[in-house]
Amino acid sequence: MSDILFSLDELSIDSIRDGERRRIVDHVSLAVRRGELYGLVGESGSGKSISMMASVGLAASGLEVAGGTVRFAADQRPAADQKGLRRNLSRGVSLLFQNAKGALNPFMTVGRQVERALRQKRRVRDLAGEVDNLFRVVGLSWRDLGRKYPHQISGGQAQRVAMACALATEPALLIADEPTTALDVTTERELLRFLARLCVEREMAIVLIAHNLSLVSEYCRSLSIMHAGQVVEEGDLKAIFARPLHPYTQGLIRAVPDVDSPRELVPLVGSVWGGPQGIERCRFSHRCPHRRPDCDRGRPAAVDRDGRAVHCVLYEEVPA
């Protein structure tokens, strides 16, 4: 698959506190194609943000990469090489964060921040013009907002400014970590539509991290679902939604209200991090209605089925 732009292979991350080591990301693998809108979904604490941050060398302190490889374009290196991975940030990967106002420097005007982001790339000829252009691309006016400080603009505007900064280096991959969670529903839709448009127009791959499955389903082509640090189902979104295989995915979809066909909502039981600790197992088993002893014997391997990969012992016996 030569059009894979970015991939994680068996990424594992441990958290170390008070001398205790806990695996919080467990052999995560995913692949994003050029120009693809890729969704990464999971509950809070499922490890989706941590995985993506670590993939660009921004793993928080107290976290240690325990294994895995990251590939971006022609560059491939072990995930433990955080410093090396960070270099990708100026070479084609950009990020967006949930808290846009917090992401912007409170001491600089937004115009100057976009300017600074622009200067990161090769010599810019017409700096003022390019800044103005970037503002326009994200739907803002430099004349109106350029000299304002982040605390003087709205959340939606701040997120657009952050986007302008992220787009300044013309990235091939944009990792958007819950960019709309803090915004109201209308602004959320606007921004997502804008992201989807960018994705097509600039052939820019976007990894959209979210905890809201229905949101992702509208815009993404491929999807990865994580639970407690493990990928449970991954692949073509339409295929997954048409026929969800993993019990967790099924649970998630069942829990989403549907205006057109009202039914009783069935919530998922249990908590993300419950169940036996310290052993290699399927970390969903303790919440799973189809639980068997096999589930605790090791990490379920990926099984290819109908255009997606599912990690569940239920599908392991029947040959694909």
Partner 1 sequence: MNMRAEPMNPPATLPTRSARRPLWRRVYFGVFGGDALGFAGSILLALLLIVAIVGPLLVTHDPLLTTPKTLLAPSAEHWLGTDHFGRDVFSRTITSLRIDFIVAGLGVSGAVLVGSFLGLVCGYVGGWFDELVMRLVDIVQSFPLLLIAMVLILVMGPGVESIIIVTVLINIPTYARVIRGEALSRKTLEYIDAARCSGASEASILFRHLMPNTLSPIIVHASLNLAAAVGNVAALSFLGVGIRPPTPDLGVMVAEGTNYLVQGAWWMSIGPGLVLAATIFSLNLVGDCLEGRLDPRRMEG
Partner 2 sequence: MRIPPLATYVLRRLAISLVVLFGVTAIAFSMSYLLPSDPVTSRYPDITDAQRAEMRRQMGLDQPMVVQYVRYMESVFRGDFGRSFGTGNTVGQDLAIRIPATLELAVFGIVFGILVGLPMGMLGAVYRGSWVDHVTRVLNLMAQSIPAFWLGVTLIFWLYFQLRVVPSPIGRLSPLFTAPPGITGLYTIDAMLAGRWDVAGAALRQLMLPAFVLGLGVVSPVARITRAAMSDSLKEDYITFGRALGLRSRQLILGDAFRGALIPIVTTMGFILANVLAGAAIVETVFAWPGLGRYAVTAITTSDMAPVSTCILLIASSVAVANLLVDLSYAFIDPRIRNEYAR
In the list partner 1, partner 2, none, the entry touching 263 (Cβ below 5 to 8 angstroms by class) is none
Residues whose CB falls within 8 Å of the CB of residue 220, separated by 6 or more in sequence, listed in order? 37, 38, 39, 208, 237
Residues whose CB falls within 8 Å of the CB of residue 105, separated by 6 or more in sequence, listed in order? 113, 150
Q: Give 270-285 as a DSSP string.
A: S-TT-S--SS-S-TTG
Burial readout 204-219 (b: 16 or more C-beta within 10 A, e: otherwise): bbbbbbbbebebbbeb
- Taking the complex as a whole, how short is the minimal distance between the CB of residue 182 and partner 1, in angstroms? 9
In the list partner 1, partner 2, none, the entry touching 20 (Cβ below 5 to 8 angstroms by class) is partner 1
**Residue 14 or 294 with smaller CB distance to partner 2:** 14
Instruction: Using CB under 8 A, pick the residue from 104, 140, 163, 210 that binds partner 2.
Output: 104
In the list partner 1, partner 2, none, the entry touching 270 (Cβ below 5 to 8 angstroms by class) is none
67 sits in the region (left: phi over 0; alpha: psi -120 to 50; else beta) called: left
For residue 218, what are its two tokens?
């509208």
- Taking the complex as a whole, how short is the minimal distance between the CB of residue 7 and partner 2, in angstroms? 20
Is position 178 an interface residue for partner 1 (rule: CB under 8 A)?
A: yes
Instruction: Using CB under 8 A, pick the residue from 31, 37, 41, 50 that binds partner 1.
Output: 50
Of the listed pieces 30-38, 57-65, 114-122, 186-194, which binds partner 1 according to CB under 8 A?
57-65
For the CA atoms of 33, 308, 220, 85, the dihedral, rounded to the nearest 10 degrees, stands at: -40
In the list partner 2, partner 1, none, the entry touching 17 (Cβ below 5 to 8 angstroms by class) is partner 1
Q: Which of 227, 302, 310, 312 is nearest to 270 (CA)?
A: 227
Is position 55 an interface residue for partner 2 (rule: CB under 8 A)?
A: no
**Binding positions for partner 1, rule: CB under 8 A:** 15, 17-20, 22, 24, 44-45, 47, 49-50, 53, 58, 60, 62-63, 97-99, 102-103, 177-178, 181, 272-274, 277-278
